[in-house]
Amino acid sequence: MIIIKYIFNKICKIQIIITLILVLVFLCNKAMRIIKLITIGHLTKDLAIILIILKIPEIIQIVVPISIIISVFITIQYIYNSNELLAIYSCGYNNSIIYLTLLIISIFVMFFTVINSMWIVPISNRYYCQLLFNNKQNNINQLVLSNLPININNNGIIFNKKVNNIFLVKIKKNKYYLISTGNIYSFICHKKYKLIILFNGNNYYYNLLNQKLVITKFKKYYLFFYIKNKKYNLLSNQLDLNQLISNTNNQNINELHWRYNLILSIPLFYLLSIIILISNIKKILGILFIIILYTFFFIIQYLLRINITSYSHLLMWLVYLFYLITTILIEFLTKKLLL
C-alpha cells in the first residue's frame, strides 16, 4: 500500500505540472489569435481575457493524454535511476504493482475527464461562441468615426448617429458599392427597421461590372432597412451529455462517441505507456513511439468526428479497438521477450 501511494503521488504531481505547462503552451497559441482581433478593433481587452479563460477546459481535454505519457515516462525514469524500481522488485513485487497504481490514477483522471468533457467543455464552448456572436452583432451597429468603414453587417450598412459627418456604405456582392457622406438630418430606430436621413452630402456609386464611378450630390438622402434578428444556434460541441443523448442526429452521435473515446483513451494510454516504457527504460524512442501513436489516434478520431456520416462513430470504436488489441499484443510480446 505504501508503494502504491508513493508511485501514485509521484505520477500525479508530475502529471499536474506537465498538464499546466502544456495548457500554457496551447493557451499562448490561442491567445495570439485573440490578440490579433484586439489589434484590429474587433474585441475589447476584457472580452479577450474572458475568451482566453473559456478555452482552458478544451485545451485540458486535449493535453491530458499527452501529460499521461510524459508523466509516466518521467516517473519510470526517476524510480529507475534512483534504484527505487530495483528496491520494489527486491521486496517481491513485480510490474503488477505499477499497473495497479496506474489503474487507480486512471480512474481519478477519467472521472475528471468525464465531468470536463461532458459538461465543462460544452458550457465553455457555448459561452465562448455566444460572446463572439454577441460581439459581432454589436459591431454591426457600432459607430464608425473614420473616413473608411470598419464594421460592415450582412446588408453592408454602416452608420453613426453621434457625429454629424458620417460615412454610409451599401454593398451588393460582386455588383456595386454605394457610399454616402453627409450630415444626419434624423435617425429613427425601431425593433424591426431603421431609417437614416442625411442632408447636404455626396453619393459615390461604383459599379464593379463596368468599373465606373458616379458621384452625385444630394440635399436629403433616405436610407431605410429592416433588421434581421439572428438567433444563435448551438453546435454539437456546445451540447452537454443530456442534450447530446436527447438530440440524436449524426453530428451529435459523432460528438458523443468522440467524447467517449477520449475518456476511454486515458486508461488505454496509461497502460500502453507503462508497458512500453518498462521494457525500454533507457530508450527515449519509447516515449516518442507512444506520442506518435497518440497523435495518429487523435487525428483519426478528430477526422471521423467532423466527417458526418451514419457510420463514423462505428469507425471511431474500430480505431479504439485496434489500439486496444495493439496494446495487448505489445504486452504479450514484451513478456515473451523477457522470458
Same domain for 191 and 278?
Answer: no
**What nine digits make up the cell of 179?**
457610399
User: Is-contact 112 60, C-beta < 8 A?
Assistant: no
pLDDT one-digit tens code per residue, 155-197: 334 444 434 455 555 555 555 555 566 665 555 555 555 666 6
CA 202 from centre of chain: 46
Task: Tell me which residue range forms the domain holding 285.
Answer: 2-138+233-338
pLDDT, position 44: 81
pLDDT, tens digit (0-9, with 9 covering 90-100), for 284-297: 777 888 889 999 99
Q: How far is CA 210 from CA 117, 178, 203, in A?
A: 54, 15, 18
Which contacts of 213-221 are long-range, i.e. CB under 8 A and separated by 24 or more positions? Answer: 218/180, 218/182, 220/185, 221/180, 221/182, 221/197
Q: Mean pLDDT per 10-residue run, the chain (339 residues)?
A: 88 93 92 78 81 93 90 88 86 85 91 95 91 67 34 40 50 56 56 62 71 73 57 81 88 93 92 82 75 92 88 94 92 73
The CATH code of the domain that includes 177 is: 2.30.30
- φ, ψ of residue 240 to 5 degrees: the values are -80, -175
Q: Residue 315: exposed, middle, or buried by beta-carbon count in 10 A (0-12, 13-18, 19+)? A: middle
Task: For residue 16, tell me if it sits in a domain.
Answer: yes
3-state secondary structure at position 158: coil
* Domain boundary residue, one of 202, 226, 250: 226
**Residue after which a domain boundary falls, among 207, 226, 245:** 226
Q: Which of 170, 205, 226 is the last residue of a domain?
A: 226
The answer to whether residues 171 and 188 belong to one domain is yes
64-87 pLDDT, tens per residue?
988 998 998 888 888 888 888 888
Question: 18 lies in a domain?
Answer: yes
Position 107 scores a pLDDT of 92
**How far apart (Å, rounded) are the C-alpha atoms in residues 200 and 218?**
6
